[in-house]
Amino acid sequence: MVDEERESGRAVLGRTLKFLREKAGKSLGQLAQETGYDKSYLSRLESGERLSKVTVMEDLDGYFDAGDLLVRHWHAARMDAFKDQYKEFMALEARARIMWKYTPGVPGLLQTEDFAREMLSGAQATPDDNSVEEQVAARIGRQYLLKRKPEPNVRIIIDEYAFRRPAAKRKTWDDQLLHIEAVAMWPNVALQVLPFSVGVHHHMYASLTLLWQKDGSGVAYVEGNTRGELTEEPDGVLQYRLSYDRLRDVALSPSDSLAFIRDVLEEYRS
């Protein structure tokens, strides 16, 4: 009997995928031929060794006429791609009605797949290609948070530093800037740039996220290079809100920030 309390999300997803395949009377070879996915890749998904992109699960849900069964399991399985210390924060983030974020770099919620891959393949990242792809899939999968229904009210402040350190590949950086520009125009998102002219500030080396739930409860999450700290105590959350307000007040307005992003894009292309 499977011990589901100890079984990983990826293992549950893989077992479900294998069950659907066998129920349909398909071999791995047949599934690969009929879906266009590599047989060895499908085998690793079934064994729980890999986490796919969510679009793969959408395709397979359609193939097996399984509704959104595999996609729902994928959302649970992607938690395995993050360290345990982030899980509570991510669960709260997934339900938040209001999100305020400050980041010194391009935030994961706004990264393109190629930009995320370049970041996660850097000198401090794991050299294991499979692990990198798993992290990329999990990071990109989180972006559904911005468009889920009902759409959350989102404010993101990005330090100018993020726009002055481009990706190594020109197309990757061009696509990333275009994506940030597009998100800045979404009706549920207010995006602001914190310019260098502000000078030094208290969140230069860490990101800050404030979340509010439907019942009005709030949390603050501060993440540095080595650890994250979740604060739920009301006085602590209030202090972080006040510090966020100070950043917002000195950041460029959303319209000026959009103009700034377009200027950076034009400069980069020239």
Q: What's the pLDDT tens digit per position in 66-115? A: 999 999 999 888 766 555 557 788 889 999 999 999 999 999 999 999 99
Contact yes or no for 28/43 (Cβ under 8 A): yes
pLDDT of residue 98: 98
End-to-end C-alpha distance for the chain, whole angstroms: 63
* pLDDT surpassing 90 at residue 203: no
pLDDT of residue 128: 64
| Interval 171-180 mean pLDDT | 97
pLDDT digits (tens, 9 = 90+) for 150-168: 999 999 999 999 999 999 9
Element (H, E) at 210: strand 207-212
* β pairing state of 153-159 and 207-212: unpaired
Q: Where in the chain is the domain with CATH 1.10.260.40?
A: 9-79
CB atoms within 10 A of CB 218: 21
| Interval 2-26 mean pLDDT | 83
- The CATH T-level fold of domain 9-79 is 434 Repressor (Amino-terminal Domain) (1.10.260)
pLDDT of residue 85: 55
* Confidence band of 2 (pLDDT split at 50, 70, 90): very low
* Confidence band of 55 (pLDDT split at 50, 70, 90): very high
- The CATH T-level fold of domain 88-269 is Endonuclease; Chain A (3.30.870)
Name the residue among 23, 103, 98 with its Cα closest to residue 63: 23
Contact yes or no for 160/194 (Cβ under 8 A): yes
Q: Where in the chain is the domain with CATH 3.30.870?
A: 88-269
The number of residues in the chain equals: 270
Phi/psi region, residue 260 (left: phi>0; alpha: psi -120 to 50; beta: rest), is alpha
* Confidence band of 42 (pLDDT split at 50, 70, 90): very high
